[in-house]
A and B are shown apart, each in its own frame.
Chain A
Amino acid sequence: NAGVTQTPKFRVLKTGQSMTLLCAQDMNHEYMYWYRQDPGMGLRLIHYSVGEGTTAKGEVPDGYNVSRLKKQNFLLGLESAAPSQTSVYFCASSYSPGLAGEQETQYFGPGTRLLVL
């Protein structure tokens, strides 16, 4: 049981390049989330999904797209990277149907450090 995994762990991009961050969870969770963490800003929600095939915008969605084609995977895309997107990105998941009281607890992946030059 790996929990939440993220690929890659670290990436350097040039301005204008595109990339996709992959998040995978093996806990049968319905909900998945993408956050970014910047110094002094805490965790800010980018996008989230409450089920396969659904996505919703969070606090800072601009410049990012997401897809949830499979329940266990949540992809975060940067179509044209900008230096302002240099950050640490965290994926999280929550909510196992049938586990009463557990739906609100989010479990996090190890993070992806992205540097945009």
Chain B
Amino acid sequence: AQKVTQAQTEISVVEKEDVTLDCVYETRDTTYYLFWYKQPPSGELVFLIRRNSFDEQNEISGRYSWNFQKSTSSFNFTITASQVVDSAVYFCALWDSGNTPLVFGKGTRLSVIA
């Protein structure tokens, strides 16, 4: 069965620190997609990134980077030089070809303190 685990429930960092949010997934499928979503205090869910199982290249977008490692079934998200605006709940999600809906982790609440 598909499963997404975000072991870190809450993280607090001081502004400008780097922080990594962990995501571990389980699937028996060889074709799957992994996602990260951001939910800021305003409440909406914002799509950040999608990565497919055949592309293990790491992705960098500004201060955000994602490390996909199939060997450890992980898709970790790093924020470099964190800012107060990064404070949010971050969700990791999995889709595989045997299952239409996404499977979400329970989320990690990140608080960045000025």
Contact = CB atoms under 8 A, between A and B. Distances in A.
B75 interface: no
A76 to B, nearest CB: 15
Nearest to A92: B45
A80 B95 CA distance: 33
B44 A58 contact: no
Interface residues of A, number: 22
A48 B100 contact: yes
A40 interface: yes
Interface string A89-107: 0101000000001001111
Interface string B53-67: 000000000000000
Contacts of B107: 42-43
A74 interface: no
Contacts of A111: 43-44
Given A104-B33, A105-B50, A110-B43, A48 B101 contact: yes
B52 to A, nearest CB: 7
B112 to A, nearest CB: 21
Interface residues of B, number: 20
Nearest to A58: B101
A36 to B, nearest CB: 12
Contact of A40 (B91, B95, B106): B106
A108 B52 contact: no
Given A58-B101, A105-B35, A110-B43, 11 more contacts: A40-B106, A42-B105, A48-B101, A50-B100, A88-B43, A90-B45, A104-B33, A104-B95, A108-B45, A109-B44, A111-B43
A33 B9 CA distance: 25
A45 B105 CA distance: 12
Interface in B8-40: 9, 33, 35, 37
